[in-house]
């Protein structure tokens, strides 16, 4: 028995609508899945406390050489948070020449302090603190042609007063996600737990990454990593650390960008500014014991 023509038309329309509904649902699910996939990570490397003023086996020189020539990604650019007037570093002729070399080789110079020693800014008088800021900005402006936009407080220690002063001079605080814990220069300056340390810290960050709470810049999630270029052990193990970072990312199923490290100063600065402290009322977690000590 032949079906009524109207029934045939109705069935055809119903089937077509059902197929369209399934297609739209499938596309919607695919879009939702795509939207929930975190952007690949990209390691933003930073070095504190330099430059070294040593005449022989200069650790800052070794770091620069390793960043330029390594088997992981030659030509890596990093942020150097520098002490422009350190008595045994940036204030020496060797230190000053290294600051110029860092700029010439495309790295980003940022402010750490301009005191003769690694002074805690919170413990300086108003006059000493302001003088350090003015000196540091002047020193870096002379070398780079522009005032620094980034600052990392010595000992990771800051408060509302110092934060306000930094911002008055156009600088924003950049803390860190991963820390090599290599700030110990005298005595034991090596690490037997490099891999375990980085894995632990990246594991903690992974929750934020999965939740999509970290900023995405140019298609990737900047992950800030901190070393000290005045540490001779670090200087001799730069390539080891580069490999460790890639290894722990793979272990945690955190895909990296096609270029896992930054290669252009402008991209580096843009990514760093997206990760800076913007609200003095919010207290981000500080690395290691500093969180317990200061907060």
Q: Among candidates 113, 118, 36, 47, which has minimal Cα distance to 76?
A: 47
pLDDT score recorded for residue 279: 61
**Which residues 6+ apart lie within 8 Å of 203 measured at CB?**
252
Q: Where are the domains of the chain?
A: 38-279
Q: What is the mean pLDDT of each run of 10 residues along the chain (295 residues)?
A: 50 51 47 66 97 96 98 98 95 97 98 94 94 97 98 93 95 96 66 88 96 96 97 95 98 98 98 86 52 47
Is pTM, for the whole model, over 0.75? yes
Domain boundaries 38-279, corresponding CATH code: 3.20.20.370
What pLDDT does residue 37 have? Answer: 82
Quote the tokens at residue 93: 């002729």
Cis, bond preceding 51 (omega within 30 deg of 0) = yes
- The pLDDT assigned to 193 comes to 81
Rounded Cα distance, 90 and 281, in Å? 33
What's residue 259's pLDDT? 98
CA distance 9 to 27: 27
Integer Cα distance of 89 and 98 in angstroms: 9
Q: What is the pLDDT of residue 197?
A: 94
- What whole-number distance in Å separates Cα of residue 72 and Cα of residue 70? 6
């Amino acid at each position: 028995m032949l079906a009524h023509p109207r029934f045939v038309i109705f069935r055809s329309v119903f089937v077509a609508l059902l197929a369209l509904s399934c297609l739209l649902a499938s596309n919607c699910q695919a879009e939702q899945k795509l939207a929930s996939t975190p952007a690949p990570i990209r390691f933003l490397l930073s070095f504190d406390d330099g430059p070294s003023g040593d005449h022989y086996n200069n650790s800052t020189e070794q770091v620069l050489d390793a960043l330029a020539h390594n088997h992981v990604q030659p030509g890596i650019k990093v942020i150097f948070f520098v002490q422009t007037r350190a008595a045994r570093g940036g204030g020496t002729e060797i230190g000053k020449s290294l600051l110029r070399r860092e700029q010439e080789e495309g790295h980003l110079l940022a402010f750490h302090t301009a005191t003769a020693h690694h002074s805690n800014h919170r413990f300086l008088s108003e006059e000493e603190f302001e003088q350090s800021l003015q000196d540091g900005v002047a020193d870096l402006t002379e070398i780079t042609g522009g005032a620094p936009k980034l600052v990392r407080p010595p000992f990771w220690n800051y408060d509302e007063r110092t934060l306000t002063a930094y911002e008055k001079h156009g600088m924003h605080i950049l803390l860190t996600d991963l820390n090599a814990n290599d700030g110990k220069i005298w005595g034991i300056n090596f690490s037997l737990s490099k891999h375990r340390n980085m894995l632990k810290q990246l594991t903690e960050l992974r929750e934020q990454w999965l939740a999509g709470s970290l900023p995405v810049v140019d298609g990737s999630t900047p992950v800030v990593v901190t070393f000290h270029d005045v540490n001779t052990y670090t200087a001799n193990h730069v390539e080891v650390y580069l490999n460790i970072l890639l290894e722990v990312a793979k272990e945690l199923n955190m895909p990296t960008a096609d270029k896992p490290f930054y290669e252009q100063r402008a991209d580096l600065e843009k990514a760093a500014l997206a990760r800076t402290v913007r609200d003095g009322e919010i207290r981000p977690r500080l690395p290691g014991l500093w969180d317990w000590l200061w907060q």
